[in-house]
């Protein structure tokens, strides 16, 4: 039999790309196929500075009659003032819906929707982003409106109140889906009182404490166009786009970053949310890494092998394929401007909860104690480098790649050196990354499930502390 | 399909640049080829990046199942990742008898446990020991998840499979030079799949059901909506199947379902990307050409009888209130489909839509309200759903939706609103042309439910819709007497 575990196969596969030859008889194994080389030709995304000082990443491409534009601001929910959680998301929503420039909210909606210009504004922990996608023929009509939303939003009081009502209802419903509950409460367990702890949408009662002054101040401090990063891609005339942006944006500066340092690492603790569900919903983890961590590639390749690579990863192979315990079992490092999260997640019937959790902890321990195999390492690295081409699948994705580097403070040659950085990761690097970045002894373990059916009990993982989360039919949550 | 020379040269045609109704509709130049064994191959050149999106669609979904075996199509989809005689094994000859023995043991243990006779526990325990040993030996001969690992290693993204009510899709996007690798693997499993670890995978599917339906109020809501709106047509049961059916599906049943429904004459290969159509056809002939065709699947003969009167379902779930109104509608490529698409867009797309303005902004009874209507081969559903805002009840929201629908049936939409809806549909269509994986899905889906050429007729059909057509569609299809209302009160 063909031995696919041989370490040289990985290196050979990359060389193969250069060695095109006439088609041989059908290969006995697909990795033996002689395939033509791939010409990777990432488009040249240009960076220029607008008059206000903000960078604009730009790529003209006439393949499709589409125009895409976006702006990124370091203005995510991490900057929500305490007690006013959800402010960033409220501002993001209402710069779109509250009217802007000369147009009231309804006129703005009609103007954009008649030309089918898709404008969306979103907030996450790090950023408020705005994006526009329209037919290129409408770019000159839609782009100034998007600029007005950023520079001259009206925050119509009716639309602000409407959004607050919606947010109150979303928060009222937040305990409907177990998956949503464990994700939210896990974040709170790990981050404690940190600005990364709360849900982007907000907390109960917070909407009542947000006034017009808060909205205007947040917009003025954090969403000044001069402090943003912009991108434009597709079928457009660059001079026109630059003229529109320069005409719209003034040079007002943005407030400083001012994020506190991340919280200290916690200790091993087990938390149980009681609910009569079919499955136990399990999440385990701790603080992770920043997006600009120098170990980024080593950590990501380690995670790919541990649990990030789906069926190529150890945890899914054991929990799902070998044991049939769960449909979904995975690990992830979410990276942010500041330390993100590391977590492993899985859902299994109550009776097998302890078994699944034990396997997850064993695999985290194993990758910290012995080197990954040459085949695992080669597979993970090839997956990263061979899928690199998809980062440039559309003009807009190429521009987004370039702009996100600057947003996260990554070096300008990041993409040029990407393949070399991946290729340079060794089994020793993976082991070192696992030891430095995985801490099962300090992990928060959170389980939502039916205590009476979880057997053996969760106490084997540490003292179990109950956490009360009201059910959907409970009276409204009090303020935290 | 032969097209005029100019169109072939442009290959991936983009003529949507001119304004409004005057502009030429975007067209796709899909090359169609049929192998002698009946396999349909569709190729669309797309030269934006050196990538290719590859799919095989089988013309089989949960609608082709029968009571007692619901979920078998989805379970088969899971089993297709378990390898073949060449993939997933170190020694197939040594492994084959073990696979058979493991299956026998599982079935016997299952029978004994269900019988609950005295002494059953002991008998099952003995067999379980033998089973553990056989599984240990089989595991040592397997290369787990090899298909998945090979594709990922070569740079695959979008690697997945979907089972629907009418179709099953296996999809994957790769660097363009890996096309032949995909052909090798996909043809290998079309012709030669080996269903290892069946009982473990069946347990995984039961966990998937617990996760996506039983523990999810939204999942349960959707399942019960179809179960209530259909009384006869097989769209009534869930794609994942009823739990008690899944538990009783056996390996021989899945093997039979595979043989019958995964034949080349029941499949469509769709390739979209930076490829040369003639080369794709040559590779398809080479890899898929040897797979024998099979007798055709029996057609779905059951028709949903006309609904006589409104149906109402109140679900007792631990969840916040929600409401849906489901109406019967013709298939996605039917004559009235374009008018229904415009109607859906008028009701549901954006902040200027009727439901948003009427329910969310105007009456303020809901936090969101929208219409969904799945792409379907047979008559399916047009579903208006909304999330009430406290203290407003599901009854308030249902009444408000009804009022908006009645207004549309009574008074034709104005020129502005009609043109806006058409612009939205057309722009969304143009946006979908950017992504190889999205195009692959569109071409294959429409080929399965009707024919891919419908996509080229789509924009002209939308442009031809009149205000009268929209009002008539509302009157004909969105009637109170043929509505199924599902609520969590």
Contact A113 B14 (CB under 8 A): no
Instruction: Name chain B contacts of A278, Cβ cutoff 8 Å.
Output: 210, 214-215
- B420/chain A closest Cα distance in angstroms: 5
SS3 A160: helix
Q: Which domains does chain A have, with CATH numbers?
A: 46-248 (3.30.830.10), 269-466 (3.30.830.10)
Q: Helix H segments across A49-104?
A: 87-97
For chain B, the 3-state helix, strand and coil shares in percent, each to the nearest 5, are: 50, 15, 35
Strand residues in A319-413 grouped as ranges (E): 329-334, 341-349
Cβ B323 vs Cβ B383: under 8 Å = no
List B residues 436-475 in contact with A (Cβ-Cβ < 8 A).
436
In chain B, whose CA is at the least distance from the CA of A106?
A: B352
A131 Cβ under 8 Å from any chain B Cβ: no
B17 CA: distance to closest CA in chain A (Å): 6
Q: How far apart are CA B451 and CA B445, in angstroms?
A: 8
Using alpha carbons, list the distances in angstroms from residue A419 to A128, A395, B304.
30, 20, 56
Interfacial A residues in 227-266 facing B (CB < 8 Å):
none
Rounded to an integer, the average pLDDT of A198-212 is 97
Cβ-based neighbour number of residue A422 at 10 Å = 20
Query: What average pLDDT does range A461-475 have in this prediction?
Result: 86
pLDDT band, very low/low/confident/very high, at A13 (cuts 50, 70, 90): very low
**What's the confidence (pLDDT) of residue A16?**
29
Cis peptide before A456 (omega within 30 of 0): yes
Q: Which of A 349-368 lie inside 8 A of B, CB atoms? A: 349
Q: Domain B311-488: give its CATH superfamily.
A: Metalloenzyme, LuxS/M16 peptidase-like (3.30.830.10)
DSSP assignment of A13-46: HHHHTT------SPPSSGGG---PPP-------E
* Tokens of residue A245, six digits: 């942006």
Strands A46-49 and A55-60: antiparallel
Q: Locate the chain B residue with the closest alpha carbon to A385.
A: B155
Would an 8 Å CB–CB cutoff place A113 in contact with chain B? yes
Residue B489 to residue B473: CA distance in whole angstroms: 30
- pLDDT at position B18, please? 34
Closest-CA distance, B414 to chain A, in angstroms, reads 13
**Residue B11 near chain A (CB below 8 Å):** no
B382 has pLDDT over 80: yes
pLDDT bracket for residue B113 (50, 70, 90): confident
Question: How close, in Å, is residue B431 to chain A by CA atoms?
Answer: 7
| Tokens 């094994």 found at | B89
Q: Which residues contact A175 (CB under 8 A, 6 or more apart)?
A: A181, A469, A470, A471, A472, A474
Q: Which of residues 318-357 of B touch A (CB under 8 A)?
A: 318-320, 349-352
Interface contact A322, partner B, CB < 8 A: yes
Q: Residue A27: list chain B partners with CB under 8 A.
A: 184
Q: What pLDDT, on the 0 to 100 scale, is given for residue A9?
A: 29
Q: Domain coordinates of chain B in residue numbers? A: 52-89+142-288, 311-488
Residue from B48, B49, B345 whose CB has the most chain A CBs within 10 Å, to mutate: B49
CA distances from B312 to B309, B396, B489 (A): 10, 15, 12
* Partners of residue A176 in chain B, C-beta under 8 Å: 217-218, 319-320
Residues B320, A162: C-beta atoms closer than 8 Å: no
The minimal CB distance from B367 to the residues A113, A170, A383 is found for A170
Scan residues 284-323 of B and list those with Cβ closer than 8 Å to A: 286-287, 318-320
Give B317-354 pLDDT, tens digit per residue: 989 999 999 999 999 999 999 999 999 999 999 999 99
* Beta strand residue intervals within A255-297, DSSP E: 269-274, 279-287
Angle formed by the axes of helices A414-423 and A374-386, nearest 10°: 160
Q: pLDDT at position B4, please?
A: 30
Torsional class of B323: left (φ above 0), alpha (ψ -120 to 50), beta (otherwise)? beta
> What's this model's pTM, rounded to 2 decimal places?
0.93
How would residue A408 be classed by pLDDT, with cut points 50, 70 and 90?
Answer: very high
pLDDT surpassing 60 at residue B473:
yes
- Report strand pairing: B267-273 vs B40-45: parallel
Read off the pLDDT band of A26 (50, 70, 90): low
How far away is chain A from the Cα of B157, in angstroms, using its nearest Cα? 7
Q: How confident is the model at residue A10 (pLDDT cuts 50, 70, 90)?
A: very low
Q: B469, B383, B462: which is closest to B428 by C-alpha?
A: B462
pLDDT average, residue stretch B391-408: 97
Dihedral sign for Cα atoms in the order B183, B188, B191, B196:
negative
Confirm or reject contact between B37 and chain A (CB < 8 A).
no
Measured in Å, how far apart are chain B's first and last C-alpha atoms?
A: 53
Whether A390 and B216 lie within 8 Å, measured CB to CB: no
Distance from CA of B78 to the nearest CA of A (A): 11
* B10: exposed, middle or buried (Cβ count in 10 Å: 0-12, 13-18, 19+): middle
Q: Are B246 and B36 in contact (CB under 8 A)?
A: no
Q: Which of B472, B246, B243, B216 is nearest to B342 (CA)?
A: B472
Q: Is B223 on the interface with A (CB under 8 A)?
A: no
Largest CA distance in chain B: 80
Domain spanning B52-89+142-288 has what CATH number? 3.30.830.10
The count of C-alpha atoms lying within 13 angstroms of the C-alpha of B149, restricted to the half-sphere facing its C-beta, is: 26
Residue A466, both tokens: 């109950």
> What is the number of other CB atoms lying within 10 angstroms of the CB of residue A41?
10
Is the pLDDT at A473 greater than 70, yes or no?
Answer: no
The dihedral over CA atoms of A374, A380, A382, A383, expressed in degrees to the nearest 10, equals 160
Which one, of B188, B87, B197, B181, lies nearest residue A1 by Cα? B87
Residues of A (267-306) whose Cβ lies below 8 Å from B: 277-279, 281
Looking at residue A252, its pLDDT comes to 76
Taking only the tens place, the pLDDT of each residue in A341-396 is 999 999 999 999 999 999 999 999 999 999 999 999 999 999 999 999 999 999 99
Query: What average pLDDT does this structure show over A10-36?
Result: 56
Residue A40 touches partner B, C-beta closer than 8 Å: yes
> SS3 for A110?
helix
Token readout for B3 is 């097209």
Of the candidates A334, A320, A324, A244, the one whose C-alpha atom is nearest the C-alpha of residue A290 is A334
Name the band, by pLDDT with cuts 50, 70 and 90, for residue A64.
Answer: very high
Contact B272, B53 (CB under 8 A): yes
For the segment A308-334, what is each residue's pLDDT rounded down to a tens digit? 999 999 999 999 989 999 999 999 999
Residues A62 and B207: their CA atoms lie apart, in Å, by 47
Please give the average per-residue pLDDT across A73-85, as a whole number: 96
**In degrees rounded to 5, what are phi and psi of residue B91?**
-160, 90
User: Are the Cβ atoms of A177 and B216 closer than 8 angstroms?
Assistant: yes
Using alpha carbons, select from B146, B171, B173, B152 the residue that is nearest to residue B161: B171
Helix axes A374-386, A296-303, angle to 10 degrees: 110
Q: Calculate the alpha carbon distances from A218 to A222, B107, B254 in Å.
A: 6, 64, 59
How close is the nearest chain B Cα to the Cα of A62, in Å?
Answer: 10
A470 CB within 8 Å of a chain B CB: no
Backbone conformation region of residue B275, classed left if phi is above 0, alpha if psi is from -120 to 50, else beta: beta
Rg (alpha carbons) of chain A, rounded to whole number: 25
Domains B52-89+142-288 and B311-488 share a fold: yes
Task: Give the model confidence (pLDDT) of A153-194 as tens digits.
Answer: 999 999 999 999 999 999 999 999 999 999 999 999 999 999
State the CB neighbour count (10 A cutoff) for residue A407: 19
| Parallel, antiparallel or unpaired: strands B311-314 and B40-45 | unpaired
Q: How far is A422 from chain B (nearest CA, A)?
A: 13
User: What ipTM is given for this predicted complex?
Assistant: 0.91
Angle between helices A395-407 and A414-423 (to 10 degrees): 80
Q: What is the average pLDDT across B245-267?
A: 97
Enumerate the residues of chain B whose CB falls inside 8 A of the CB of residue A113.
Answer: 349-352, 420, 424
In chain A, the percentage of residues whose pLDDT exceeds 90 is 85
In eight-state DSSP terms, residue A430 is H
- Reported as a single tens digit per residue, the pLDDT across B167-193 is 999 999 999 999 999 999 999 999 999
User: Is B181's Cβ below 8 Å from some Cβ in A?
Assistant: yes
Band the pLDDT of A3: cuts 50, 70, 90: very low
């Amino acid at each position: 039999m063909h031995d696919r575990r041989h370490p040289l196969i990985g290196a050979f596969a990359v060389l193969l790309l250069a060695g095109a030859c006439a088609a041989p008889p059908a290969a006995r194994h697909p990795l033996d196929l002689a395939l033509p080389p791939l010409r990777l030709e990432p488009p040249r995304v240009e960076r220029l500075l607008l008059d206000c000082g903000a960078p604009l990443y730009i790529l003209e491409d006439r393949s499709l009659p589409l125009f895409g534009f976006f702006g990124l601001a370091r203005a995510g929910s991490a900057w929500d003032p305490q007690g006013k959680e959800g402010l960033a998301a409220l501002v993001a929503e209402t710069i779109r819906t509250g009217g802007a420039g000369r147009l009231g909210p309804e006129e703005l909606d009609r103007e954009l929707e008649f030309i089918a210009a898709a404008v969306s504004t979103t907030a996450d922990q790090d950023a408020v982003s705005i994006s526009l996608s329209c037919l290129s023929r409408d770019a000159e009509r839609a782009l100034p409106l998007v600029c007005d939303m950023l520079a001259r939003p009206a925050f119509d009081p009716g639309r602000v109140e409407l959004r607050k009502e919606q947010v109150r209802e979303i928060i009222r419903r937040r305990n409907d889906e177990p998956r949503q509950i464990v994700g939210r409460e896990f974040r709170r367990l790990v981050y404690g009182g940190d600005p990364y702890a709360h849900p982007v949408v907000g907390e109960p009662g917070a909407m009542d404490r947000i006034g017009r002054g808060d909205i205007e101040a947040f917009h003025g401090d954090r969403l000044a166009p001069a402090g943003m990063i912009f991108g434009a891609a597709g079928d457009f005339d660059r001079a026109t786009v630059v003229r529109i942006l320069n005409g719209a944006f003034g040079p007002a500066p943005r407030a400083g970053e001012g994020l506190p340092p991340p919280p200290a690492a916690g200790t091993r603790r087990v938390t149980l949310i009681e609910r009569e569900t079919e499955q136990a919903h399990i999440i385990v983890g701790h603080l992770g890494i920043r997006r600009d961590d120098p170990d980024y590639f080593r950590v990501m390749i380690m995670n790919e092998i541990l649990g990030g690579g789906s069926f190529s990863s150890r945890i899914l192979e054991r929990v799902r394929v070998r044991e049939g315990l769960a449909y979904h079992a995975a690990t992830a490092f979410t990276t942010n401007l500041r330390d993100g999260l590391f977590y492993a997640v899985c859902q299994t019937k109550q009776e097998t909860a302890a078994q699944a959790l034990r396997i997850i902890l064993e695999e985290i321990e194993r990758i910290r104690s012995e080197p990954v195999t040459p085949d695992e390492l080669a597979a993970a690295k090839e997956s990263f480098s061979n899928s690199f081409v998809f980062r440039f699948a559309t003009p807009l994705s190429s521009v987004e790649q370039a702009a996100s580097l600057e947003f996260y403070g990554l070096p300008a040659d990041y993409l040029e050196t990407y393949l070399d950085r991946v290729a340079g990761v060794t089994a020793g690097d993976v082991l070192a990354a696992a030891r430095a970045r995985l801490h099962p002894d300090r992990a928060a373990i959170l389980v939502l499930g039916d205590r009476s059916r979880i057997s053996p009990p969760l106490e084997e993982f540490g003292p179990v502390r109950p956490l009360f989360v009201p059910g959907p039919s409970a009276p409204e949550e009090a303020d935290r | 399909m032969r097209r005029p020379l100019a169109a072939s040269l442009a290959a991936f045609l983009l003529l949507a640049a001119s304004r409004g109704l005057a502009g030429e509709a975007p067209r796709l130049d899909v090359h169609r080829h049929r192998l002698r064994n009946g396999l349909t191959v569709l190729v669309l050149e797309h030269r934006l990046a050196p990538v290719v999106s590859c799919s095989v669609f089988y013309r089989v979904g949960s609608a082709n199942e029968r009571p007692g075996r619901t979920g078998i199509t989805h379970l088969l989809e899971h089993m297709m990742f378990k390898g073949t005689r060449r993939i997933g094994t170190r020694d197939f000859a040594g492994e084959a008898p073990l696979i058979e023995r493991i299956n026998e043991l599982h079935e016997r243990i299952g029978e004994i446990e269900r019988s609950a006779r005295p002494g059953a526990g002991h008998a099952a325990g003995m067999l379980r020991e033998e089973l553990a040993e056989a599984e240990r030996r089989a595991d040592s001969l397997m290369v787990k998840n090899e298909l998945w690992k090979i594709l990922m290693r070569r740079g695959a993204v979008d690697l997945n499979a979907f089972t629907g009510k009418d179709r099953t899709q296996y999809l994957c996007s790769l660097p363009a030079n890996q096309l032949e690798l995909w052909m090798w693997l996909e043809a290998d499993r079309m012709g030669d799949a080996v269903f290892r670890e069946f009982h473990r995978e069946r347990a995984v599917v039961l966990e998937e059901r617990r996760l996506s339906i039983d523990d999810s109020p939204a999942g349960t809501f959707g399942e019960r909506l179809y179960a209530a709106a259909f009384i006869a047509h097989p769209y009534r049961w869930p794609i994942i199947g009823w739990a008690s059916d899944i538990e009783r599906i056996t390996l021989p049943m899945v093997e039979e379902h595979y043989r019958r429904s995964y034949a080349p004459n029941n499949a469509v290969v769709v390739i979209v990307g930076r490829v040369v159509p003639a080369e794709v056809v040559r590779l398809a002939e080479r890899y898929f050409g040897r797979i024998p065709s099979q007798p055709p699947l029996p057609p779905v003969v059951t028709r949903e009888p006309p609904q006589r009167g409104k149906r109402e379902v109140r679900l007792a779930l631990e969840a916040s209130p929600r409401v849906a109104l489901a109406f019967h509608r013709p298939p996605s490529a039917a004559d009235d489909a374009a008018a229904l698409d415009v109607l859906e867009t008028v009701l549901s797309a954006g902040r200027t839509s009727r439901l948003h303005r009427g329910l969310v902004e105007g009456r303020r009874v809901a936090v969101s309200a929208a219409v969904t209507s799945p792409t379907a081969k047979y008559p399916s559903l047009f579903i208006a759903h909304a999330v009430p805002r406290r203290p407003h009840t599901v009854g308030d929201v249902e009444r408000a939706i009804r009022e908006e629908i009645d207004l549309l049936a009574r008074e034709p939409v104005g020129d502005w609103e009609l043109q806006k809806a058409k612009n939205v549909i057309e722009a969304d269509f143009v946006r979908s042309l950017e992504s190889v994986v999205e195009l692959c899905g569109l071409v294959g889906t429409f080929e399965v439910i009707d024919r891919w050429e419908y996509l080229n007729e789509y924009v002209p059909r939308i442009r031809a819709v009149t205000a009268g057509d929209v009002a008539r569609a509302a009157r004909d299809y969105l009637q109170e007497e043929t509505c199924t209302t599902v609520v969590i009160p």
